[in-house]
Structure 1
């Protein structure tokens, strides 16, 4: 009976050690994932800022007055007179 008790204690001790090692590995993995998540949050914030700046730049470049100025000065275009309008009707 004494040997059985010792074997039971040894088995329980081994199970406790395996459980402790599993907890340590789980904590290590969890901390790695948290670090990665924080890095992704930083990247998301940077991309949000860049996206906002690009939207502002796009709205600046696409203003009607800027397009009209570019068409007139660079492409020598002008607004056609009323007589030069052509209306197409699809039948």
Structure 2
């Protein structure tokens, strides 16, 4: 009876050790993935900040006015060119 109990305890100990090893290995894999995802998040946050700054620069009214004048040849109409249409 003692040999059976001893065998069961040894099997349980080995199974427990294998479970601990598997859990630690899984933890390491998940930690590596978490680190990669955090790094990706940080890079995306930096890029998002850059894009927000670029959008603010592009949407600035002076810049739009400058592009309209230089690239498109647009200008404000003279007072004589303005026609008011009344209903």
TM-score in terms of structure 2 length: 0.85
User: Which sections of structure 1, spanning at least 5 residues, go unmatched?
Assistant: none
CA distance in 2, matches of 1:84, 1:35: 69
Between the two proteins, the alignment pairs up a number of residues equal to 85
The residue that corresponds to 1:52 in the other structure is 49
**Segments of 4+ in structure 1 off by > 6 A?**
none
The residue that corresponds to 2:14 in the other structure is 17
Q: 1:86 to 1:76 in 2, by over 3 A?
A: farther
Return 32-41 or 74-83, whichever deviates more: 74-83
In angstroms, what is the RMSD of aligned CA positions?
A: 2.0
User: Which sections of structure 2, spanning at least 5 residues, go unmatched?
Assistant: none
Return 53-62 or 76-85, whichever deviates more: 76-85
Matches within 5 A, 1:62-73: 62-73=59-70
CA distance in 2, matches of 1:42, 1:60: 27
Which of 32, 41, 44 is residue 38 of structure 2 equivalent to? 41
TM-score in terms of structure 1 length: 0.82
Return 60-69 or 77-86, whichever deviates more: 77-86
